[in-house]
Amino acid sequence: MRSMTANIALACAALLATFGAQAQTTLEKIQKSGKVVIGVRESSAPMAYALGSMQKYVGYHVELCEKVLAQIVPSAKIEYMAITAQNTLPLVQNGTVDLGCGPTTNNLARQKQVSFAVTTYVSQVRMAVRADSSITSFKQLDGKTIAASAGTTAVQLLRKYSHENNIKLPTQLGKDHFESFLMLESGRADAFVLDDNLLAGVIANSKDPKGYKLVGEVLGSEPIALLMRKDDPTFKKAVDDALVRMMKSGEVAKVYDKWFMQPIPPKDAPLNLPMSETLKQLLQAPNDKPLEAYNS
């Protein structure tokens, strides 16, 4: 009886500890620890990627995160945690990562798990093929091998396209964009499907940037945003307010130009992807609408 009582007491204590951790806001956590953990990617240029052996993280979303945090928690030390498309949501959801700074699509399913900031990029899912390839449409991929990165929305869009057009799109999944691109580079895949900005980044940093091209119709437009814990509206408002100030001042446009129009490391090659009209409109009237609002 005493043993059962002790077990119940321990279970209650664990429950209270969990509740207490969730009740603590992200800002309180940062102020108490003196640090803020941001989730970055290792191979998602130009949005978030690693440079060199020192693992310095750079990119459009990394810089936006740094500028946001400089406004709301200026004295906190930033710690960079490498995350993947597969583990982004759980690490943000459980508070291991305070602010997700990779290229994550905002959709209704994900909104059930995390909160998204106002949209800071709108991508178009297309495909990269070798420069000498005759492929120009997804229908031409019927029965051919396609590379895609695990955990990305491109995988879902390929399944949808396959079903709607009654064609077979055999898809091999890479653990990250480098591994997926390697399938195309080595001839094991006929196309690599991903967001246009990420495809351009991978190609620009490849051994032969002129050896590949972006082709095909747009499978879908996707709002990309920073993300944070769902149960912390105070932190979301702080992040949103900081981003909106940067949008209104023209700072976000300057950061965009730096990463999408100017030469970027490590090969100092420009992506030459001008800002879309959709993103220009979003900088004037910011919102956090999900993917479903774009493709309805």
Across 124-133, 170-179, 268-277, least confident range: 268-277
On whether residue 8 sits in a domain, the answer given is no
pLDDT of residue 296: 59
- Residue 233: asked if its preceding bond is cis (omega within 30°), the reply is no
Which domain-ending residue is among 190, 221, 252? 221
127: phi then psi, degrees, rounded to nearest 5:
-135, 150
> Residue 244's closest CA among 287, 275, 281, 294?
287
pLDDT (tens digit per residue) in 78-125: 999 999 989 999 999 999 999 999 999 999 999 999 999 999 999 989
Asked if residue 204 and residue 83 are part of one domain, the reply reads: no
Number of domains in the chain: 2
Which domain-ending residue is among 221, 254, 282? 221
Asked if residue 229 and residue 168 are part of one domain, the reply reads: no
Range of the domain at 170: 124-221
Asked if residue 128 and residue 216 are part of one domain, the reply reads: yes
What span, in angstroms and rounded, lies between the C-alpha atoms of 216 and 208? 21
Secondary structure string (H, E, C) spanning the chain: CHHHHHHHHHHHHHHHHHHHHHHCCHHHHHHHHCEEEEEECCEECCCEEEECCCCEEECHHHHHHHHHHHHHCCCCEEEEEECCCCCHHHHHHCCCCCEEEEEEECCHHHHCCEEECCCCEEEEEEEEEECCCCCCCHHHHCCCCEEEECCCHHHHHHHHHHHHHCCCCCEEEECCHHHHHHHHHCCCCCEEEEEHHHHHHHHHCCCCHHHEEEECCCCCEEEEEEEEECCCHHHHHHHHHHHHHHHHHCHHHHHHHHHHCCCECCCCECCCCCCCHHHHHHHHCCCCCCHHHCCC
Asked if residue 245 and residue 204 are part of one domain, the reply reads: no
pLDDT of residue 53: 72
Report pTM: 0.79
pLDDT (tens digit per residue) in 184-243: 999 999 999 999 999 999 998 899 999 999 999 999 888 999 999 999 999 999 999 999
On whether residue 177 sits in a domain, the answer given is yes
Output the average pLDDT for the chain.
91
Neighbours of 28 (CB within 10 A): 13
Asked if residue 128 and residue 241 are part of one domain, the reply reads: no
Which domain-ending residue is among 221, 252, 276? 221
The fraction of the chain above a pLDDT of 70, given in percent, is 91
On whether residue 195 sits in a domain, the answer given is yes
Asked if residue 226 and residue 116 are part of one domain, the reply reads: yes
Asked if residue 226 and residue 145 are part of one domain, the reply reads: no
Residue 134 · residue 190 · CB < 8 Å: no
pLDDT (tens digit per residue) in 164-178: 999 999 999 999 999
On whether residue 20 sits in a domain, the answer given is no
Residue 235 · residue 117 · CB < 8 Å: no
Which residues are paired to 194 by β-bridges? 126
Residue 121 · residue 224 · CB < 8 Å: yes
Asked if residue 208 and residue 179 are part of one domain, the reply reads: yes
pLDDT of residue 16: 42
pLDDT of residue 9: 44
Asked if residue 160 and residue 37 are part of one domain, the reply reads: no
CATH of the domain at 226: 3.40.190.10
On whether residue 189 sits in a domain, the answer given is yes
Asked if residue 37 and residue 102 are part of one domain, the reply reads: yes
* 131-145: average pLDDT: 97
Asked if residue 49 and residue 83 are part of one domain, the reply reads: yes
